[in-house]
Structure 1
Amino acid sequence: RERAHAHRVAAARRSSSRVVARATRQAQPDARDVAELALQNGACAIKPKYSPEVVRERATRGPGEVAKTAARCAKIVFNAARFAAGLALDEVSQNERVVSRSEQLRVQLAELGPSFVKAGQVLANRPDIVRSDYMEELCKLQDDVPAFDNAQAFEIIEDELGRPIDEVFSTISPSPIAAASLGQVYRATLRSTGEEVAIKVQRPGIEPIIYRDLLLFRTLAWFINGYSIKQLGCNAQLIVDEFGEKLLEELDYVQEGRNLQDFYDNFKNDPIVKIPKYYKELSGSKILTMEWIDGIRCTDPTGIVAAGIDVEEFIKVGVVSGLRQLLEFGLFHGDPHPGNIFAMRDGRIAYVDFGNVAQLTQTNKEVLVDAVVHAVNEDYDGMAGDFIRLGFLAPGTDVRPIVPALENIWQDARTASLANFNFRTVTSSFNKLVFQYPIRIPERFSLVIRSLLTQEGICMTLNPDFKFLEVAYPYVAKRLLTDRDVSLRERLIQVLFKQNKFQWRRLENLIGLARESGGDFDLTETAADGAGLLLTDSKLRQQLILAATEDDRLQVDEISRLLILLQKEVKLEKLINNAVSDGPNLARKLALSWSSKVLSD
């Protein structure tokens, strides 16, 4: 425990220096390119508007803003004092009323407005900051607020478009069809084409309130930073900076439009995912216009069945699309709650609201796949290394005390039947580690965890017996077997060779799981790549020969079963054509391999 505490303090001090350096960079216009935006090992935010200096300047711009900030501070202090008094009363009476206090916290955060609602939602997924019983209550925080005046909304639309509403839209709903803390949505019809669209309008006056709250958050973080570093091992100012960066992104409708277009491009050829069209020419800094999605709320199983949609297939579509966002594109939806996901009548899944998204770099995606590979191979030292590379542990952390804890979590998960296993089970077990070891959850991975938990919750609403791994494993297996990406090919080899021994049964299981994922499943190119690798890699060839003749006998049964499996998935004619077309390249590799061996000998 002392060693873990020391690591926490050291990590937090390193974080503090990063905050200073980061603030300095952000104060200089155009000082950061995409590569410099990396925070905690590679995840980056897109064109961030946030910096402590900008927040301070915006919240104290003139006597009027200073007075409003002071009034806001008084309101927050009053609410904080009420909550602290309740905790003190519990302490004196030696009666810890966790349920009522956590409920009180949730209600007070909701009363304080959008910044506090968003902060509570973030804390609901930060076990490194908040205890589990409070996290459960914070998960109930909703972003529903009364709509603002329609006349104001229509005025904002006209100001952004630069022309009257009836010149652009033949119809528009007289009142919003949805309202949240940051904005509200209207349904309209384009006069020029007759297309139905959704118009998202930002709540007037919300930006100054957000800046005032962020200044107060950061002031509080500065005040408690010493305690935070000493007792929790995390830098409070860095946490506020990460939160502020994401919150201001949600206020930037121009950036949300870019996010929407990126999602549209990623899924434009996907037959199972619908992303609405973005109308850039009808959007601006305060409004965003997109295609209207006429779908069924994703948590309405009765409506989904009535539309003739296979519920189980829709669940699979949702999980696979989420995994593709995470592991394939590295751009994922950070707020997939039931109001943002719909079932289309043709069975597709549709996403809306792209203000809260996050990016993962290629390195992040590869390390996540590494973590899956290490879990499959029961390589817990490797998994601990993945935690460092992803930013959960500070570089240089002694992982030896953590490895047994990771092994216990995963072994418990593996010994439980698949029918009793879900993502929340592993997350709950992992949450218990963050106060025992110097683990910190980076903001973008907090979003990943929240996104996966939310999607699992939606799936369990549709089918209470839903198990995440029953869908996730087949997708990962298919991707490992069929994707020709060099890094994934290397990881496939790691999965198939454990301690230099070829895992016959594991390959059979992978093929079986990949078939369950549905769609086209063709291993011809994988077989061609494997044959080429065996011809050019003598070490791999030797390992396979040893595996085929293990225990001084030819493994006829294993080889026969494998050939029968491959017969269905490998097209011989295509394999021959691939071999012919790739012949010159293979010959060059053989020559290089042979010459290297001769020179080394």
Structure 2
Amino acid sequence: MRHYNAAAIAQHYRYRPWRALWRAFRIVWLFAIFVIGLKWDEWQGQSNAYKTTRAVQLRKTLTQLGPTFIKVGQALSTRPDLIRKDFLEELVKLQDQLPPFPTPHAIAIIETELDRSIDEIFSYFSPSPVAAASLGQVYQAKLRTGEEVAVKVQRPHLRPNITLDLYLMRWAATWIAPWLPLNLGHDLTLIVDEFGTKLFEEIDYLNEGRNAEKFAANFQDDPTVKVPSIYWRYSSSHVLTLEWINGFKLTDTQRVKEAGLNTNSLIEIGVRSGLRQLLEFGFFHADPHPGNLFAMPDGRMAYIDFGMMDQLSQDTKETLVDSVVHLINRDYNELAKDFVKLGFLTPETDINPIIPALESVLGNAIGESVGDFNFKTITDQFSELMFDYPFRVPAKFALIIRSLVTQEGLALSLNPNFKIVEIAYPYVAQRLLTGESPELRRRLIEVLFKDGKFQWQRLENLIAIARSNNENFDILPTAQLGLQYLLSDEGRFLQRQVILALVEDDRLHTEEVQRLWNLIKDDLKPSRLMHAALGALADFSAEGAAALLPSVAMFPLFQSQKFQDSKTN
């Protein structure tokens, strides 16, 4: 099987029940030994004395059980806020310190897959792997043409082992789901299927190479993100040859400091690149653990594993942006509708009783300041919410949630005081202010207007926050886009709304305009301002001018009428 097929796998093991039973017995037996050991330590009052022993035992148990369980351990290894320190130190070793398989076997696989001898391809090939992961191991080598490369070789008999674990996981999901304190129901099997689909994609190295090139194309304008080049001539479905990356794991804080790198800058690169993947490209890395992310001496961040990726539709990306905007604005009614669109709630669900629950949970999680937001806090709070209301986790979002949780956990290992929204909110603000698409313009208007009134403070906050996170943020292109939009047919409604905002509450809002001017005046030098205005007006038609002039002409009349009305009242 080249692709995951739950029905075909079930059919295969239905006629081989002894294999499934023996594997299930082994899994239960190994975990039972571990749990009994923990309880015995508690009963004897020696938990502290044996905590290192138990941590090693857990790592070895996961290693013995193979790739599927190693993946679970890798995810847990990025959560210092969930896993106690002694366990964490051992689980981190699952990222690239697993027992390797013999190098002669790896060489045989390379020669069979590439149909040539190892000496024909490489002038140097490391005698032992530099890293061993759950699905394969990596060798450092040099091509005959002189390029330094990393050679990934897949573990033997990987596909049969994974299919058996997936079969057992899916079988267990059907029995466990009704007993869980979450309203996951039948969706648990869909989550297993999503995981299985991605795992099968991950063990196809040609697919990984294509993913790497697509990822590199997305970030070609970002000098802070590095993606290794793929050497297709020396790659196959079981062997992948790619550019060697000189760097070190993000969690190696000692080497980060020795290299003079700023941990906060690395966190910002990681979170911003993660947000771009989800909200801008829709093509995201679903397994960003420290073994797959490297800091480079020049300050860049390198992604080196592209096996587990996923693609979001345009509608999903837009709804995710909507949900962030609604969360920032504390618009829980619209946020509930976003959950319906994303599949967390069914269309027939009555959202009215859910809205106050969302306000209670998310309001407490965010606190007085949006900077207090923490994804871990949100997930904890939602566990209770999913118990009381018919929320479910769509299969597609299992990987997204895993990616977000993993990235936040990685950032927490570099900075325990990290708050994801301190970077996410400025990114969203800058994205809204600089977006050229009609969808982003609509979302910006949605942010700036509430109940038909212009929110001066929100515009000030957006500009201030966008600039706080990017010293090079330039408001002028945004102003030019805004002027072009105002002069377009699409912007006619906004023309009137802006005029109304300026004379709202029977007064000219000169103070708000002055505050905005003080905020942006350094960017709007006369020469640049004139150039931007001419650019915006370049395609402006006479019909557009005629449509705009009545609105402008009506401004003093409108203000005069309001003044007369106020005198009459």
TM-based fold match above 0.5: yes
Q: Which residue of 2 aligns with 1:479?
A: 431
Alpha-carbon distance between aligned partners in 2 of 1:405 and 1:341, rounded to the nearest angstrom: 37
Deviations 1:509-550 (A, max 9, x none): 111111122264233343233334434444323322222112
Equivalent residue letter for 1:568: D
The Cα of 1:267 is off from its aligned counterpart by 1.4
What letter matches 2:496 in structure 1?
A: Q
Counterparts of 2:131 and 2:342 in 1: how far apart (Å)? 37
1:305 maps to: 257
2:567 corresponds to: none
Query: Which residue pairs with 2:208 in the alignment?
Result: 256
- 1:395 paired with 2:347, answer yes
* 1:329 aligned partner: 281
Deviation per residue, 1:31-72 (Å, 9 max, x gap) = xxxxxxxxxxxxxxxxx8111233235557xx8x76544533
Q: 1:116 to 1:459 in 2, by over 3 A?
A: closer
Query: Deviation per CA, 1:142-175, whole angstroms, max 9, x where unpaired?
Result: 4553111110011111111110111111111111
Superposed displacement of residue 384, structure 1: 0.8
In structure 1, how many angstroms separate the alpha carbons of the residues matched to 2:467 and 2:427?
Answer: 9
1:201 is paired with a residue whose SS is strand
CA contact (8 A) 1:106 1:138 kept: no
1:121 and 1:57, CA in 2 relative to 1: closer, same or farther beyond 3 A?
farther
Give the 3 Å change call, closer, same or farther, for CA 520–230 of structure 1 in structure 2.
Answer: closer
Confirm or deny that 1:542 pairs with 2:496.
yes
Matched residue type, 2:433 = L
Which of 1, 9, 14 matches 1:55? 9
Matching residue of 2:533: 576
Give the aligned partner of residue 170 of structure 1: 123
Hey, what does 2:192 align to over in structure 1? 240
Query: Sequence identity of aligned pairs in percent?
Result: 49
Count of aligned pairs between the two proteins: 529
RMSD: 3.6
Report which stretch shifted further, 500-509 or 223-232.
223-232
1:557 correspondence with 2:511: yes
Deviation at 1:326, TM superposition (A): 1.4
CA distance in 2, matches of 1:561, 1:116: 56
What code does the residue aligned with 2:233 have? E
- Superposed, 1:88-127 pairs within 5 Å as 110-118=63-71
The 8 Å contact of residues 183 and 387 in structure 2, kept in 1 or not, is answered as no
Residues 122/55 of structure 1: CA separation in 2 closer, same or farther (3 Å cut): farther
Matched, 1:71 2:22: yes
Give the conservation status (yes or no) of the 8 Å contact 2:187–2:392: no
Check 1:124–1:239 CA distance in 2 against 1; reply closer, same or farther (3 A cut): farther
Q: What TM-score does the superposition give when structure 1 sets the normalisation length?
A: 0.79
Aligned pair in 2 of structure 1 residues 231, 268: CA closer, same or farther (>3 Å)? Answer: closer
Question: In the superposition, relative to structure 1, how do residues 222 and 258 fare at CA in structure 2: closer, same or farther (>3 Å)?
Answer: same
Between the aligned partners of 2:74 and 2:248, the Cα distance in structure 1 is 25
Equivalent position amino acid for 2:536 in 1: A
Contact 1:228 1:234 in 2 (8 A): no
Contact between 1:332 and 1:358, CA under 8 Å: does it hold in 2? yes
The 1:236/1:460 distance shift into structure 2, 3 A limit, reads closer
Cα distance in 1, alignment partners of residues 63 and 24 from structure 2: 16
Does residue 1:521 correspond to 2:473, yes or no?
yes
> 8 Å contact 2:339–2:345 — kept in the other structure?
yes
Equivalent position amino acid for 1:170 in 2: S
Aligned partners of 2:377 and 2:182: how far apart in 1?
30
**Alignment CA distance shift 1:120-1:191 (3 Å):** closer
Q: 1:276 to 1:545 in 2, by over 3 A?
A: same
Unaligned segments of structure 1, at least 5 residues: 1-26, 28-47, 126-131, 595-601
Aligned pair in 2 of structure 1 residues 133, 308: CA closer, same or farther (>3 Å)?
A: closer
Q: Is the alpha carbon distance of 1:539 and 1:580 closer, same or farther for their aligned partners in structure 2, counting shifts above 3 Å? A: closer
Q: Which has the higher contact order (CA 8 A, sep 6+)?
A: 1
Flag the 1:562–1:458 CA change in 2: closer, same or farther, 3 A.
Answer: same
* Aligned mates of 2:496, 2:521 — CA distance in 1: 24
Give 1:588 shift.
Answer: 5.8
